[in-house]
Amino acid sequence: MRPPDGHTAVHHTAEQEAEHIHRIEEAGYTSAVPIGDGFMESAVAMAPPHERLSMERRASSVEAMEETARIEDDIGPPPDGGRQAWLTVLAGFLQQFCIFGMINCNGNLQAYYLANQLEGYQKPTVAWIGSVQSFVEFAFALITGRYLDVHGPVLLVSGATVLGFAATIGMAFSYKFYQFFLSFFLFGIAGTLTYAPSGAIVSHWFAKRRSLAVGIVVCGSSVGGLIYPIMLEQLFVRTSYRNTMLIIGAMNFVLMAPGVFWMKTRLPPRRPPPLKDMLRPWHEPKYVVHVIGSVLYGMNILAPFFTAISYATENGLPDHIASYAVTICMSGSIVGRIAFGLLADRFGVWRIYGTVGFISSIVMFAFWLPPMNGGPGAEALTIIGLLSYGVISGSWFTLVPSATAAISPVHEAGMRFGMLITVMAIPSLVGPVITSALIEAGNNRFTYGAVWVGCCTALSGLVTNSIPFAEWVKRRRGWGKEEACSSVESTAPTLEEARIEEKPEGVQVTETSKS
């Protein structure tokens, strides 16, 4: 087997290959080892029985990585445009429009259930329906992200379309608590099938304009958050609850179904990598810091939306304006998702992403912390506070998947973004509960809640910027030029470094000339 141009041809006996692999394994190297000409197979056969299973798994991992490397070399860089690329973006937009449009109706639906089908239940009990739905959407993102990397989006989008339609039909015919719980749980599964993939697959098609493309996709959730509650309210006036849900279910199916044909991956199906490969990103400081910073920000990102109406009322907005507080936030969110995507493509995603936590903290302490009821310009300042938080929180939804893709290999973008979303599952349940408790402790004012949210977002900014700041210090002190934040770092030595440090005796190395 002829090695790639510019590499060395290495000739081993089976015993030497087994010894070499064992040394690399013990040293903790993660780079691939040669498997051509049956060397790996012979090495496994010659290995002691107690080491054979480990080496077989190693061989599988090596083969998967080399197969992926060959595929990425064949397909070339992302085209940054074209008909299929923008169809994929449109499909992602529609998926998030339908899924998050329904999720943003949870407050309206909860109020309706308490007054009708679930009359007599306590509000916190009914609130568990929507909370579990959101948890399911986040918790299983790791599985769907990994599946996207290996098999592509077709089955994921198909499943999301069918399950979303079935769940909405289930809501239409439910009248008991457990029926609503199961229907919303099923809709949460539909959401997790499409949430991480629709954000991660953009990196297959875009590089220079990736943040803008991601911003367009995630705008679907904001537009859905504006349209669905209004549509639900108008349908309740004109027809029955059951007919309303049937209409929404049919509309969702029509909008989501084209994604089966529109959303495509550039990577062909490949061999699933071993599960242990999911541990590799957790050895990369940039990824770990990115996840921690995202959790600190994301755990409270929806809390101001949940309490926007009470915030507006407490600060003196008339009822007819305060009732549109969430709509004002959502409008700002649309602007933030697109505008910050453009800025990220222009100046670098990590440069822009690093500012989000600090800006959010400033907005919290400037507009949401001080009570403005009765003060001069209170109404205008309250609206500015709602809009500004919508803009900056919307940017986070665009920049998180873009920042993840910037520090990830293309073939792992789905898995890494899925892991991040999965880690956020529990904090996303706990954060709003803490915020609500602090608001109640502050006599229904957002004062204490603003301190909590503002401190968390500021800490998120500090954590997110810690590694870029450390690299800047190294460069200033002349400790060596570091890679930019948008590069992909590997914490393991390369195979050639491993060979130089631990070349087995009796191994002949010859240089191969370039073709």
Q: What is the 3-state secondary structure (H, E, C) of 204-253?
A: HHCCCCHHHHHHHHHHHHHHHHHHHHHHHHHHHHHCCHHHHHHHHHHHHH
- The full length of the chain comes to 515
Q: What is the 3-state secondary structure (H, E, C) of 329-341?
A: HHHHHHHHHHHHH
Contact at 8 Å (CB) between 294 and 400? Answer: yes
CA distance linking residue 435 with residue 310, whole number of Å: 13
SS3 11: strand
Topology alike, domains 81-269 and 283-489: yes
DSSP state of 10: E
What is the fold, at CATH topology level, of the domain defined by 81-269?
Growth Hormone; Chain: A; (1.20.1250)
Farthest-apart Cα atoms in the chain, separation:
86
Q: Is 69 exposed, middle or buried (0-12, 13-18, 19+ CB in 10 A)?
A: middle
**pLDDT tens string 72-117:** 555 678 888 899 999 999 999 999 999 988 887 887 788 889 888 9
**pLDDT tens string 244-303:** 999 999 999 999 999 999 998 887 777 777 777 788 889 998 999 999 999 999 988 888
Of the ranges 37-41, 102-106, 307-311, 353-357, the best mean pLDDT one: 353-357
Residue whose C-alpha is closest to residue 327's, from 209, 204, 440, 223: 223
DSSP state of 364: I
pLDDT band at 506 (very low <50, low <70, confident <90, very high): very low
* pLDDT value at residue 414: 83
Domain spanning 283-489: which CATH class is it, in words?
mainly alpha
CA distance linking residue 195 with residue 199, whole number of Å: 7
At 371, list the tokens. 């009570």
pTM for the model: 0.72
Residue whose C-alpha is closest to residue 458's, from 356, 388, 353: 356
**pLDDT tens string 305-318:** 878 888 888 888 88
Rg of the chain over CA atoms, in angstroms? 26
Residue whose C-alpha is closest to residue 398's, from 432, 352, 362: 352
At 229, list the tokens. 């509650």
What is the domain partition of the chain in residue ranges? Answer: 1-76, 81-269, 283-489
